[in-house]
Amino acid sequence: MKFNTKVIHGGQEHDPAYGSVMPPIYQTTTYAQSTPGGHKGYEYSRTHNPTRNTLENAFASIENGNYGLAFGSGLAAIDAILKLLQPGDEVVSTNDLYGGTYRLFTKIYENFGIKFHFIGMENTSRIEEYITPDTKLIWVETPTNPMMNIIDIVAVSKIAKKNDVLLAVDNTFATPYLQRPLDLGADIVMHSATKYLGGHSDVVMGALVVKDKDLADKLYFIQNASGAICGPQDSFLVLRGIKTLHIRMQRHCENGKAIAIYLANHPKIENVYWPGFESHPNFEVAKSQMDDFGGMVSFTTKGNNYEEAIRIVENLKIFTLAESLGGVESLAGHPASMTHASIPKEEREKTGIVDSLIRLSVGIEDEGDLIADLEQAIG
Ligand SMILES: *Cc1c(COP(=O)(O)O)cnc(C)c1O
C-alpha cells in the first residue's frame, strides 16, 4: 500500500458488528466476561480499547512500523520512552529541541539519576565523544523548533547501532508524509499527534511507533502500568485527522514554500529559516531524508528590533498569534516573548532565537491571502 492509501485504510478494518466504515467510539471502561478471564480480548480500557487500538494500528501503518501506541499527550509518549531507562543511564540529545522535552529531561528525569548531554547534531561527527558505556538513548528532533536545523537520521542511526544505543526521533514537524525515521534506522518514532497528525487544533495526544516486538512489549507494559493513555473520543478524532494528512501536508508544503520565498525577497527581512533553501546548511540532508520541506518557516527582521516583531505578530489578521502548530489554520509565534521567554536572552541567542525571530506554522488557506496578510503586517 502506498502512503496516500495507508493514511485512509492502514491498520483499519470495518467494524465487524455492523460494518461501520469508521470505528465506533467505544466509550466504555470495562468489558463483560462470560466466565473469569472469558472475554473478547478487552478487559479494561487503560490496557486496551478498540477505538484506541484502531488508531494505534493506523500510527504503525503510516510510520512503516509494526506496533503503535497512543498517549494522552506528546510529552506522555516521551515520558514512556524515558521509563525504559534506569538511574545511572545516560542520554545524548540534540540541543535545539522542544522546550517541554527539555523540561521533562532536566526537571524530572535528572532527579531520577539520568544524565543528559545536549549537543549540536547538525554535524554528526562529534556525537560519539559523548557516548559512554552508560549511554542508552539518543534523542533526535529534526527539523528542530524554531530554527529548522536538520539532523542526518541515517548517520546518527549508524552511530546508535554501532554503540548498541536506542535511537528515538521526534517526527512531529515532518510527519511520515515527509520523513519516515524507522526506514532510516531509528528504533522509536515519536509524535505530538496534537500537531499535524490530528491536524485541526482540537486534540492533545502523543504517539510512538516501533518495529521490534520486545521493545513494543516493554512500551505497552509502561503504557498500561503508568496509565497516560488517551480516551476513545480523542482516538476517533485523530484517526479522522490522519485520513487527510497527505492532502493537508501537500498544501502546507506548497504554502510554506511560497511564504519562505516571499519573505526571502522582502527588503525588511534579514534571515528566513526553511530547509528547502539551497543555502540551508543541511539542505542536502533535508533533500535526501525528506520528500518535501513542510509548512514551518521562521524569520528575523533587519535591525533585529523586539518591538517591531511584536507589532508584526499583533498586526496579522489571518495568522493567529498562538502557541502550537500543525493545524489547518495559520499561526504565528514570537519565541523570545512566548515559548522561549523563560530562557535567558544570552542563552537563547546562542541558538539563534533573537528578539525579532517570528515562527510561522503555515496553514492550508489560500496562498495569496496569507502573503497579503504578511505584506500588510510587515508593512
Ligand atoms: C508539541 C510538541 C511536543 C509535545 O507534545 P504535546 O502534545 O504538547 O505534549 C513534542 N515535540 C514537539 C516537536 C512538539 O512540537
Work out whether the CA dihedral 288, 77, 239, 195 comes out positive or negative. negative
Mean pLDDT to the nearest integer, 274-290:
97
pLDDT for the residue numbered 312: 98
pLDDT for the residue numbered 350: 86
pLDDT for the residue numbered 342: 75
Residue 100 exposed, middle or buried by CB count within 10 Å (0-12, 13-18, 19+): middle
Would you say the CB of residue 171 lies under 6 angstroms from ligand 1? Answer: no
Report CA-CA distances (Å) from 132 to 110, 127, 136, 165, 271.
17, 11, 9, 10, 38
pLDDT tens-digit map of 78-92: 999 999 999 999 999
The CA-to-CA distance between both ends of the chain, in Å, stands at 48
Alpha-carbon distance 287 to 63, whole Å? Answer: 19
pLDDT tens-digit map of 216-254: 999 999 999 999 999 999 999 999 999 999 999 999 999
Q: Whose CA is nearest to atom 7 of ligand 1?
A: 74
CB 351 within 8 A of CB 119: no
The reply to whether 46 belongs to the active site is: yes
What is the whole-number distance in angstroms between the Cα of residue 117 and the centre of ligand 1? 20
Q: Which of 46, 115, 158, 287 is catalytic?
A: 46
- Set of cell numbers at residue 179: 520523513
CB 3 within 8 A of CB 246: yes
pLDDT confidence band for 345 (50 / 70 / 90)? confident
Whether the predicted pLDDT of 351 surpasses 90: no
- Any bridge partners for residue 188, and if so which? 168, 210
Domain ranges of the chain: 3-242, 245-378
The reply to whether 31 belongs to the active site is: no
Neighbours of 72 (CB within 10 A): 17
What is the pTM (predicted TM-score) of this model? 0.97
Mean pLDDT to the nearest integer, 25-48:
95
Considering the segment(s) 3-242 as one domain, its CATH architecture is 3-Layer(aba) Sandwich (3.40)
pLDDT more than 70, % of the chain: 100
pLDDT for the residue numbered 97: 86
Indicate which atom in ligand 1 lies nearest the CA of residue 97: 13
CATH superfamily of 245-378: Aspartate Aminotransferase, domain 1 (3.90.1150.10)
Q: Whose CA is nearest to atom 1 of ligand 1?
A: 192
Work out whether the CA dihedral 104, 106, 107, 109 comes out positive or negative. positive
Indicate which atom in ligand 1 lies nearest the CA of residue 194: 7
Whether the predicted pLDDT of 339 surpasses 90: no
Whether the predicted pLDDT of 15 surpasses 90: no
pLDDT for the residue numbered 249: 98
Would you say the CB of residue 73 lies under 6 angstroms from ligand 1? Answer: yes
pLDDT tens-digit map of 165-192: 999 999 999 999 999 999 999 999 999 9
Alpha-carbon distance 227 to 219, whole Å? Answer: 11
Would you say the CB of residue 99 lies under 6 angstroms from ligand 1? Answer: no
